[in-house]
C-alpha cells in the first residue's frame, strides 16, 4: 500500500537579479576615460594609416626629374637669330681669320650650323691668301671653316702676288681652312684673261690645281703680240 511522507514547510527565499547584498557596485566609466582608452588602443593604427596616406600624397605630387634631351628631342628650330650682323673669328695669335656679314642669320643647335641670307664671307690664310665668297644663302658649320653657298654663288681667290681666280655657280662648297672649292653643278671660272665653263670642278689652291668636270667650254685670250723688234746697233 502507498506510503505518504510529510516534509516540513521550508522558508521562502527571495530571488534577486541584482548584486548580492554587500557586493561592490560596478560604475560606468566617464566618457573621457572611455575615449582615452579607445585612443590608446587604436592610436598606432591611426598613425600608420596617416603615414601611409602622407607617403602616397608626396609621391603623387613630387615633380619628376627633367627629361634629358636626346638626339630625337633636340630642338629643330633656331635658338637665336641676328639681323644686319657681322661675325669674326680669330686665330690663336689674335689675327683675323674669317669675317661673315649678312642680312639675317639663324643658328640651329641640333647641328651647330648657321644659315645666312645675303651672305658675304671674307677669309684670310696665314700665307696672305684672301678668299671672298658671296651668295644669296649660305650654310656654315660652327667655326665657319666649311661653307655651302647657294644661289648666285661666287668665290674670288686672290694670292699674295695678286693672282686672282673667280668661280661662279648656283652651288659652291668652300673649305676655307684647306682652301678648296668644289661643285657638281655647272660652273664658270675666270682667271682675268680666260673664261672656262664646265659641269663641275674641284679646286685646290694649295696645290694650284684646278680640275674641271663634264663638258668644258673655253674662251681663251689671244696671246699678247711680240714687242717691236730692236734694231741692231
pLDDT tens digits for 88-109?
Answer: 888 888 888 899 999 999 999 9
112-119 LR contacts (CB < 8 Å, sep 24+): 112/141, 112/142, 113/139, 113/140, 113/141, 113/142, 114/138, 114/139, 114/140, 114/141, 114/142, 114/144, 115/78, 115/139, 116/140, 119/147, 119/149
What was the pLDDT predicted at 177?
83
- Tell me which residue of 148, 70, 140, 149 sits closest to 107, measured CA to CA: 140
Burial class (CB in 10 A: 0-12, 13-18, 19+), 103: middle
Percent of the chain with pLDDT over 70: 69
Asked if residue 170 lies in contact with residue 153, where contact means CB atoms within 8 angstroms, the answer is yes
pLDDT tens digits, 149-163: 999 999 998 766 667
Domains and CATH numbers, the chain: 80-181 (2.60.450.10)
Largest CA distance in the chain: 207
User: What's the pLDDT tens digit per position in 166-221?
Assistant: 999 999 999 988 889 999 999 999 988 889 999 999 998 878 888 999 999 988 87
Grid cell, residue 145, equals 671653316
Cα dihedral 174, 175, 178, 181, rounded to 10, equals -20
- What per-residue confidence (pLDDT) applies to 60? 72
Predicted confidence (pLDDT) at residue 225 exceeds the cutoff of 60: no
Query: Tell me, what's the pLDDT at 81?
Result: 92
According to the 3-state scheme, what is the secondary structure of 73-104? Answer: CCCCCCCEEEEEEEEEEECCCCCEEEEEEEEE
Give the start-end residues of each E strand in the chain. 80-90, 96-108, 113-124, 130-141, 146-158, 164-175, 180-183, 187-190, 195-198, 200-204, 209-213, 217-219
* 173 and 200 Cβ atoms separated by less than 8 Å: no
Give yes or no for a contact between 160 and 179, defined as CB atoms under 8 angstroms apart: no
Amino acid at each position: 500500500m502507498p506510503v505518504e511522507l510529510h516534509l516540513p514547510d521550508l522558508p521562502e527565499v527571495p530571488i534577486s537579479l541584482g548584486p548580492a547584498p554587500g557586493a561592490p557596485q560596478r560604475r560606468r566609466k566617464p566618457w573621457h576615460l572611455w575615449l582615452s582608452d579607445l585612443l590608446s588602443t587604436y592610436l598606432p593604427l591611426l598613425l600608420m594609416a596617416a603615414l601611409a596616406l602622407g607617403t602616397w600624397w608626396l609621391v603623387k605630387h613630387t615633380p619628376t626629374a627633367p627629361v634629358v634631351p636626346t638626339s630625337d628631342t633636340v630642338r629643330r628650330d633656331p635658338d637665336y637669330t641676328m639681323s644686319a650682323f657681322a661675325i669674326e673669328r680669330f686665330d690663336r695669335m689674335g689675327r683675323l681669320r674669317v669675317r661673315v656679314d649678312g642680312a639675317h642669320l639663324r643658328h640651329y643647335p641640333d647641328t651647330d650650323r648657321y644659315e645666312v641670307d645675303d651672305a658675304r664671307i671674307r677669309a684670310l690664310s696665314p700665307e696672305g691668301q684672301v678668299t671672298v665668297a658671296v651668295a644669296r644663302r649660305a650654310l656654315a658649320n660652327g667655326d665657319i671653316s666649311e661653307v655651302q653657298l647657294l644661289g648666285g654663288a661666287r668665290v674670288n681667290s686672290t694670292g699674295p702676288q695678286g693672282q686672282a681666280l673667280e668661280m661662279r655657280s648656283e652651288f659652291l662648297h668652300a673649305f676655307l681652312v684647306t682652301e678648296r672649292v668644289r661643285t657638281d653643278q655647272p660652273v664658270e671660272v675666270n682667271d682675268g684673261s680666260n673664261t672656262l665653263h664646265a659641269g663641275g670642278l674641284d679646286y685646290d689652291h694649295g696645290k694650284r690645281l684646278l680640275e674641271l668636270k663634264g663638258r668644258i667650254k673655253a674662251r681663251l685670250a689671244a696671246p699678247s703680240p711680240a714687242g717691236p723688234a730692236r734694231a741692231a746697233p
